[in-house]
């Protein structure tokens, strides 16, 4: 997410008291702690909301979202404005190699019916999907796996707290620069190019888009409105925003939706060490739920 430039007028500055009020709400709602160093960043990201609402100061904006009748609707826009969304296609590729070489064959051996041709449906959850690059990477990887597995099928749930990111992800439209990490063979197979040679955008093919269900979800909710249980959950590069108690609480709730023997993938910069969880480490940033 790019940051808007700060206006020259000092009346849009964020006071220490105003920053503390926002931080309290962000921690309570999202579980994210913000240091004082983040005050200019937060101030910068809220300028667009001031312009959209015709407000002049961030104090007015606080009164609007916390006290006005329309504040609940604006809080959704506030969360969209302040959340960071950093993602790429085929980010941390070792995870996708492990998924297809180890996790899926292992699950197939224990979950698939005895007859090879009998359909086997894999359910996967991409928790924290941002603008869609990760869930669409997974649909490509799983589609490739299916090419050599008669009867294998899959569906994917993708969730995020940002409605703006979910709308972007559902469209499945990306620039040529964004899809550069996708191997050429997969770009040819799973991306559609515009008939207009002047356009530099591509779109994920309908078959892959239809396999993904997008839904808004806040990890701070007491329970997750997700009825399914999954064989695989990708929850990568989200834990870094939480303190240890919240990390344990969130992952425990995720585990309720992971089958015994199912796999949880976290980011390579993240660790579950020291947390009391029903998980066994399998490889760097890869865990399996205890049977």
Whether 139 and 182 have beta carbons less than 8 Å apart is answered as no
Among the options 160, 211, 246, 289, which is catalytic?
160
Active site residue 276: no
Q: What pLDDT is stored for residue 21 in this prediction?
A: 85
Q: What pLDDT is stored for residue 101 in this prediction?
A: 96
Active site residue 45: yes
The two tokens of residue 112 are 């698939």
Whether 34 and 42 have beta carbons less than 8 Å apart is answered as yes
- Largest alpha-carbon pair distance within the chain? 71
Q: What pLDDT is stored for residue 41 in this prediction?
A: 80
Q: What pLDDT is stored for residue 259 in this prediction?
A: 96
Distance CA 158, CA 169 (A): 9
pLDDT beneath 70, residues of the chain: 1-12, 84-85, 112-117
Distance CA 4, CA 19 (A): 18
Q: Which of 221, 52, 211, 69 shows the shortest CA–CA distance to 143? A: 211
Q: What are phi and psi of 112, to 5 degrees?
A: -80, 140
pTM of the model: 0.81
Three-class secondary structure of residue 214 per DSSP:
strand
Three-class secondary structure of residue 72 per DSSP:
helix
3-state DSSP of 151-208 = CEEEEEEEEECCHHHHHHHHHCEEECCCCCCCCHHHHHHHEEECCCCCCCEEEECHHH
User: Please, what is the end-to-end C-alpha distance for the chain in angstroms?
Assistant: 40
DSSP annotation of 112 reads S
Contact residues for 27 (Cβ-Cβ < 8 A; gap 6+)? 33, 34
Among the options 39, 45, 209, 211, which is catalytic?
45
Q: What pLDDT is stored for residue 76 in this prediction?
A: 78
Distance CA 48, CA 3 (A): 10
Q: Which domains does the chain have, with CATH numbers?
A: 10-82 (1.10.155.10), 94-289 (3.40.50.150)
Alpha helices in 5-132 (DSSP H): 16-30, 39-53, 58-67, 71-82, 94-98, 104-111
Whether 100 and 144 have beta carbons less than 8 Å apart is answered as yes
């Amino acid at each position: 997410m790019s940051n808007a430039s700060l206006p020259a007028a000092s009346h849009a500055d964020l006071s220490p008291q105003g920053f503390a009020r926002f931080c309290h709400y962000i921690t309570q709602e999202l579980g994210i702690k913000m240091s004082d160093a983040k005050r200019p960043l937060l101030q910068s990201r809220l300028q667009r909301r001031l312009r959209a609402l015709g407000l002049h100061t961030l104090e007015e904006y606080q009164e609007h979202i916390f006290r006005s009748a329309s504040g609940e609707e604006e809080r959704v826009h506030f969360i969209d404005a302040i959340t960071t969304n950093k993602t790429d296609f085929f980010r941390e590729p070792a995870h996708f190699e492990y998924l297809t070489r180890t996790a899926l064959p292992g699950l197939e051996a224990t979950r698939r019916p005895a007859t090879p041709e009998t359909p086997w449906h894999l359910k996967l959850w991409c928790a924290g999907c941002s603008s869609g690059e990760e869930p669409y990477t997974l649909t490509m990887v799983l589609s490739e796996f299916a090419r050599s597995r008669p009867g294998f099928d899959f569906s994917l749930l993708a969730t995020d707290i940002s409605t703006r990111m979910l709308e972007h992800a559902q469209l499945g439209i990306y620039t040529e620069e964004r899809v550069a990490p996708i191997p050429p063979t997969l770009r040819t197979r799973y991306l559609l190019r515009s008939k207009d040679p002047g356009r530099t955008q591509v779109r994920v093919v309908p078959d892959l888009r239809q396999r993904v269900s997008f839904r808004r979800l806040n990890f701070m909710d007491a329970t997750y409105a997700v009825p399914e249980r999954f064989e695989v959950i990708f929850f990568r590069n989200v834990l870094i925003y939480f303190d240890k108690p919240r990390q344990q609480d969130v992952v425990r709730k995720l585990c309720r939706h992971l089958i015994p023997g199912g796999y949880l993938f976290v980011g390579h910069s993240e660790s579950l060490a020291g947390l009391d969880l029903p998980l066994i480490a399998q490889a760097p940033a890869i865990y399996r739920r205890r049977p």
